[in-house]
Amino acid sequence: MLYSFAKAIFLFIFKYFCRWKVEGVENIPKEGPVIIVSNHVSYWDPIVLGVAAPRRLHFMAKAELFKIPILAQIVKSLGAFPVDRKKSDRAALKAAMEILDRGDVLGMFPEGTRIRDAELGEFKMGAAMIAAKTNAPLVPVALINTPNIYSRGFFRPFKVVIKKPVHIAKKEAQKITSQQLEQVSNDIRQQILSILQDSKDF
């Protein structure tokens, strides 16, 4: 209930106040497990992805958010679950796998944190690894100008570009190597980087 209500409110803001542009919504599979991977430059990013995607998203969120009781309840109701970014978090990995096993959509930021000083940070292999384990396609998304959604007292335009799904091909008895996971992660990063570079004047 809260998820649908919040999505409707932000959709109204993004559409009529920000006049956002969204390209490639049709690239998100209508059913089955999906991992949406995106650059991360703003606190707005999870909200933007949640509103842009036609299906409900579930996010890994930093564990610190769940230490504040009221905020924890809100974050949980919006489909997020905690991850400890300081170590390998098996509980978060298990939660992510369960989401995909149900055929739902997982949202991930492969950079691991917001990158404000660099154009695009290096991508960690976690999303590719989870995709390989669950056979879920990876959908690259570029977020453009989201740090300025609300700036200096005004809502400002921004853009979301959704690319075609990337499938990790493997044979039944074949294990995916770390080199393959790194290559997939780098290829997706390059797709997003190309969009960002072409949109510098947005």
Look at residue 67 in the predicted model and tell me its pLDDT. 72
The domain locations on the chain are 2-198
Judged against a pLDDT cut of 90, whether residue 63 lies above it is answered with no
Question: Which residue has better confidence, 77 or 13?
Answer: 13
Instruction: Return mean pLDDT, the chain.
Output: 87
Question: Which residue has better confidence, 142 or 172?
Answer: 142
Judged against a pLDDT cut of 70, whether residue 125 lies above it is answered with yes
Judged against a pLDDT cut of 80, whether residue 155 lies above it is answered with yes
pTM for the full model? Answer: 0.90
The model's confidence at residue 117, banded by pLDDT at 50, 70 and 90, is low
For residue range 133-149, what is the model confidence (pLDDT) as tens digits? Answer: 999 999 999 999 999 99
CA-wise closest residue to 33 among 4, 3, 58, 1:
58
7 vs 41: CA distance, rounded Å: 20
CA dihedral angle for residue 101, residue 102, residue 107, residue 111, rounded to 10 degrees: -10
For residue range 51-62, what is the model confidence (pLDDT) as tens digits? Answer: 999 999 998 776
Look at residue 88 in the predicted model and tell me its pLDDT. 61
**Domain topology for 2-198:** Glycerol-3-phosphate (1)-acyltransferase (3.40.1130)
Judged against a pLDDT cut of 80, whether residue 30 lies above it is answered with yes
Judged against a pLDDT cut of 90, whether residue 32 lies above it is answered with yes
Q: DSSP character for 166?
A: B
Q: Tokens 């570079």 correspond to what residue? A: 197
